[in-house]
């Protein structure tokens, strides 16, 4: 009798585990669909719609690095007329899989008129070990803005410690 109860219990557990596995696969498919939907929402003219899409992409990127297709959709938003969108995009770009793809677009943003955009771009670039990045951030040590100068100095100090310079 005990063996029969054990087998039934084990069978139920295995069926339950199978259901959980199937549900996790379904979530992965739904996330794929959501990414496409979020990329469409980035084209919306309404700031709130784009902001929510960027926040969702950022959360997704924290779990799984963002792919090249998503990265390509984000890069043009670095030229958005709304600085709040540009500032969010530089944060989301921190979570891309292909870091080399974002170096030049982020370096271009270092001359942005918005301090939060420049600081965010520097912070995102700081995670990329590249001589060009270090060179461009070094130029910001002469910025008129104190926050930009301080951030540049902090990033360069951390980079120097990592390389032992």
Q: Long-range contacts: 133-142, Cβ < 8 Å, 24+? A: 133/103, 133/107, 134/159, 136/107, 136/110, 137/110, 139/110, 140/110
Query: At the topology level of CATH, where does 42-163 sit?
Result: 1.25.10
Q: How far from 95 is each of 22, 37, 163, CA to CA, in Å? A: 27, 19, 23
pLDDT at position 10 is 46
Note the pTM of the prediction, 2 decimals.
0.76
pLDDT tens track, the chain, 165 positions:
556 554 555 454 445 444 433 333 322 333 454 888 999 999 999 999 999 999 999 998 888 889 999 999 999 999 999 999 999 999 999 999 899 999 999 999 999 999 999 999 999 999 887 899 999 999 999 999 999 999 999 999 998 888 776
Q: Is residue 112 within 8 Å of 82, Cβ to Cβ?
A: no
């Amino acid at each position: 009798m005990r063996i029969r109860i054990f087998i039934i219990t084990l069978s139920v557990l295995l069926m339950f585990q199978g259901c959980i596995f199937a549900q996790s696969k379904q979530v992965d498919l739904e996330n794929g669909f959501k990414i496409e939907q979020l990329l469409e929402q980035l084209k919306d003219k309404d700031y709130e719609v784009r902001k929510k899409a960027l926040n969702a992409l950022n959360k997704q990127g924290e779990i799984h690095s963002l792919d090249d297709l998503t990265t390509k959709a984000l890069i043009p938003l670095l030229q958005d007329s709304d600085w709040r969108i540009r500032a969010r995009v530089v944060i989301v770009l921190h979570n891309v899989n292909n870091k080399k793809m974002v170096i030049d677009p982020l370096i271009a943003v270092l001359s942005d008129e918005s301090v939060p955009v420049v600081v965010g771009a520097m912070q995102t670039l700081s995670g990329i070990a590249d001589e060009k990045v270090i060179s461009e951030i070094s130029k910001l040590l002469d910025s008129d803005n104190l926050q930009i100068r301080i951030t540049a100095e902090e990033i360069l100090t951390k980079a120097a410690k990592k390389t032992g310079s």
